[in-house]
Amino acid sequence: MTNLVFNTIKSMVFFGECMLEHRADGDMSFAGDTFNTAWYLSQFNKDKTCLALQYASAIGDDEASSNLALLLQQERLESPYLITVQDKKLGQYWVKLAENGERHFEFDRLNSPVRQYFKQDQSLLAALRYKQFDAIYLSGITLAVLCPEQRTQLIAALRQFKQHGGVIFFDNNYRAALWQTETPQKWFQQLMALANVSFLTDEDEYAVYGTQCVNSIITHHFSQQLAPDMLVIRCGSAPCVIAVAPNDVLEISPKKIVVEKIIDTTAAGDSFAAGFLVKALQGETFENAAKFAHRLAGQVIQHHGALMPKDKLTKYLSEEL
């Protein structure tokens, strides 16, 4: 396994929806799958001149939207692809926790401004067509919040982006509630056909495709005419699996975490992806990248909400780097 694809990346855009998060401990923050990954990656990207990170989304004209825009600026994640939609409010969600830290969400996002993204502004589509950055990271939720017309526009632009040498990362995050009026398989498959690297969660794969084990996930995707160069399959507390072909597979186990320490599993997969990217973009082996990803996700789930407190993350960074 090689990481040549990562060596070409100097600029990266994350595209998706970020919402106001109401944590189970009563605090509030911001969260959204692609935003979470971008935020964690930005915390490790101390020398921002080496890797330019940007976040693409839509916000409204409410106070929460203004605060999110400020946060993106503070974290050096701002971009010309963050647009404002008048008379719209940022989506929000509430985290409800079980005793073992597993979570479910209650959402208020039907009028989220990102749902109108390409109807309001097409600068990201143009940037993709002319490859104005090196890589893009998007997810199943990115697809879900867009209407079919906008998804079609995005996939066409991504196809041109890849033809020009752009690198595409796809995270399969699946939320059934966002696909009530249609099935996601054809849209996910179109993204999988374009992706260089796909971050997959095993349970989401089972829900979308009906596969029943990790081996069937690998077989299903590599049997397609077009498939990602690499699958990174997250399996909760079980070993993650990295596959570049049906017979070229690497398994990496996480360190066991005492159940009592697990507080909230929100953003476990998103932070895993960020941790993997941190090391892969630094040129380290995929095994080391996966080990670091496991450790970061293990830290995240010991705190409330998607974003770890910065002081505790800083302490963790000083110990790890």
pLDDT for residue 321 is more than 60: no
| Runs of H (alpha helix) within 172-302 | 185-194, 202-209, 214-222, 268-281, 286-300
pLDDT for residue 32 is more than 70: yes
Structure tokens at 301: 């789930």
pLDDT tier at 238, thresholds 50, 70, 90: very high
pLDDT in tens, 168-211: 999 999 999 999 889 999 999 999 999 999 999 999 999 999 99
CA distance 40 to 64: 21
**pLDDT recorded at residue 2:** 57
Higher pLDDT, 259 or 84: 84
Task: Please give the average per-residue pLDDT across 109-121, as a whole number.
Answer: 95
Q: Identify any residues that bridge with 26 across adjacent strands, giving them in sequence order.
A: none
Q: Which residues in 7-24 are b (16+ Cβ under 10 Å) and which e?
A: eebeebbbbbbbbbbbbb
**pLDDT recorded at residue 319:** 64
pLDDT tier at 105, thresholds 50, 70, 90: confident
Percent of the chain with pLDDT over 90: 84
pLDDT tier at 81, thresholds 50, 70, 90: very high
Give the CA angle between residues 263, 268, 271 to the nearest 5°.
125
**pLDDT recorded at residue 45:** 87
Task: Please give the average per-residue pLDDT across 77-98, as a whole number.
Answer: 93
Candidates 302, 312, 228, 220; CA nearest to 25 is 302
Residue 126: strand, helix, or coil:
helix
**pLDDT recorded at residue 318:** 65
